[in-house]
Amino acid sequence: MKKIYLIGFMGSGKSTVGRYLQNTYAQRFIDTDQYIEQTTQKEIRQIFADEGEEKFRKYEIHALQLLTDYDVIATGGGIVERKENYTTMHNHGIIIYLQTSFPEIMSRLKYDSSRPLWDQQITEREKLYERRHSMYEQIADHIIHTDGLSIEEISQEIMGVMNRNR
C-alpha cells in the first residue's frame, strides 16, 4: 500500500492527525521532526541555533529518505523547501496537504516558542505562509481544508484516500 505524506504549514495538525491515525486505525506513524530530535538528541530549536537551518534541511532530507517503513509520515512545514523531498514523497506515496487558514494557524501557535521560523514579525510569518501555500498546493495529490473539521473527520478523509489507493 502507498504511504501517506502529510504536508502543510506549521500548526496545521500533521502530527496530531498522524498520532490519531496510529491510535485509532493502527497505522504505522512517524514524524520527521521527532525522528530528527531523537537521532540528534537535540530539540529542533537547538539544531537551528547551533548548526543552522541548512544543516537541519540536510537532516530532514535524510530522514525522509530513510523513513520508508511507515504508513503515515508527518513532515515538517519546510519539507517543500528542497526539491529532492518532492521526489522521495512522489516515489513512495501520496501527498496530502492539510490546508489551514492563516488566522487559524495564528490562533493555534499564539504561545508557541518551539518553532524558529515562527519566531518573527507577523508580516514575515504571513509572507512565509503565502509562499509555502502555493508550494504545498503544487505538489499535493490531495488537499484537505481543515478549518472547522475535527481531527476525526480529517482522519476519516485520509483513510478514504488510503483505501482508494490500496
Binding residues for ligand S3P, rule: CB under 6 A, are: 10, 14, 33, 44, 76-78, 115-117
Quickly count: other Cβ atoms within 10 Å of residue 105's Cβ: 23
- Torsion over CA: 66, 71, 75, 81 (sign): positive
How many Å apart are CA 11 and CA 147, to the nearest integer? Answer: 12
How many Å apart are CA 85 and CA 64, to the nearest integer? Answer: 7
Nearer residue to ligand S3P within complex by CB, 77 or 93:
77
Nearer residue to ligand S3P within complex by CB, 3 or 59:
59
Smallest separation, CB 19 to ligand S3P (Å): 12
Smallest separation, CB 153 to ligand S3P (Å): 21
Smallest separation, CB 23 to ligand S3P (Å): 18
Nearer residue to ligand S3P within complex by CB, 3 or 14:
14
Nearer residue to ligand S3P within complex by CB, 117 or 149:
117
CB 153 within 8 A of CB 16: no
Q: Is 146 helix (H, G, I), strand (E, B) or coil?
A: coil
